Chain A
Amino acid sequence: MVSAAMIEPPAEGFSDPVLDAAECFRVILGALATPGTPMRLPRTVAAPDALGPEGAALALTLMDFETRVWLHPDIATEAVVRYLAFHTGVVRASEAGAADFAVMPIGAAVSVLPTLVVGTADYPDRAASAILLTDGMDGGAPARLSGPGLAAPVDFAPAGATSALWSVLRENAARFPLGVDCFFAGGGAVAGLPRSTRIESGEG
């Protein structure tokens, strides 16, 4: 072999990075504005398995070399790390508490979400955003969402959601205007859950 380090090339990203990311951004914005409402992204990408097409599209749209991302150990496969480095140039945070974005399987969110940055009273916008990877937008423990963006309450039950998760997210919402904004990604759709949303689940 001629070159010492022959590295497996990463999967493809957006075919038109500028326009595709802009179109996805519009949908992601809509997802945050209407919490708990699954939306289909207009563009998906060939993503590493651990990230999934929707998680990858979110990452390529939102992250760049000026943001820090923390990847849950289950997500931080070599393929994912190389994919994000090549397409976004994002910097990896060593711990969740130092990240602008945290990507995790939905099952890990209960332990990870409380460790994320929630912003400060002067700069609530400096809070982290969490990307929760799920298998789909139904089948999990349900929660009733209401608040800004929702004319009427909606029921949201992404696969893998538990009452423990909703309780953590309720505590997150209670800190408003501080707190973490969440995205659920997977199963062909993304949904947003900003810190401003009120959450009621079966456990009260």
Chain B
Amino acid sequence: MTTPSSTNAGSPTGEDAPRKQWMAVLAKAPAKRVEALATAYLEGVADAVAPRFRVLRRPETGLVMVRGRAGGTGDPFNMGEMTVTRCTVVLERDGAAAVAGHAYIAGRDRAHATLAAKLDALLQTDGHHGPLMAALVEPLAREAEERRAARRRRVGATKVDFFTLVRGED
């Protein structure tokens, strides 16, 4: 059994924890769901406050070495490479500092990476944080939890406990 050595094994901690949380939710949710919820949210935003973005790093796809530790505590080893697409956008704000939004997602969906980066920027602003958490991040987190629970049930139904019987050695 291996688990990644990075902090994504459990819930993130520290002062960046909320941001890590929503970035993870946005990255792991199905692209179509993120897009549907984001479109619905942004359509509701008045034109006057419609966010303006510029791209700081176009979505680009590369490989990231995923490291693991045997049993979660052993020596680190390279488990394998995974395809990752990253993107960085900047949200321009009148009368306030610009905000950078980052996204790293598994796979090569550039639209998903771009959208997740934009949402990360918006989520850092006071005006959008609350509504976006309620309209987007929390529903997506709930859906992810439901998917995990469903999978646990499916797998749990066929769970087998292996144990060794004491054998008589004749």
Contacts and interface: CB of A to CB of B under 8 A. Distances in A.
Contacts of A15: 58
Nearest to B100: A9
A29 B100 CA distance: 34
A16 B55 CA distance: 11
B60 A17 contact: yes
Interface string B66-92: 000000000000000000000010100
A3 interface: yes
Interface string B112-123: 000000000001
A6 B124 contact: yes
Contact of B18 (A2, A6, A8): A2
Interface string B91-129: 000000111100000000000000000000001111001
Given A12-B54, A17-B60, A2 B126 contact: yes
A67 B56 CA distance: 22
A12 B19 contact: no
B15 interface: yes
Interface residues on A, range: 10 to 19
Contacts of A13: 56-57
B16 interface: yes
A152 interface: no
Nearest to B120: A3
Interface string A103-138: 000000000000000000000000000000000000
Contact of B100 (A1, A2, A7, A87): A7
A3 B56 contact: no
What secondary structure prevails in chain B residues at the interface with A?
Answer: mixed
Interface residues of B, number: 20
Given A9-B98, A9-B99, A4 B16 contact: yes
Interface string A1-42: 111111111101101110000000000000000000000000
A13 B100 CA distance: 14
Contacts of B54: 12
26 contacts: A2-B18, A2-B19, A2-B123, A2-B124, A2-B126, A2-B129, A3-B16, A4-B15, A4-B16, A5-B15, A5-B16, A6-B97, A7-B100, A8-B97, A8-B98, A9-B56, A9-B88, A9-B98, A9-B99, A10-B56, A13-B57, A15-B58, A16-B58, A17-B60, A86-B57, A87-B57
Given A2-B19, A2-B126, A8-B97, 14 more contacts: A1-B124, A1-B126, A2-B18, A2-B123, A3-B16, A3-B18, A6-B97, A6-B124, A7-B100, A9-B56, A9-B90, A15-B58, A16-B58, A17-B60
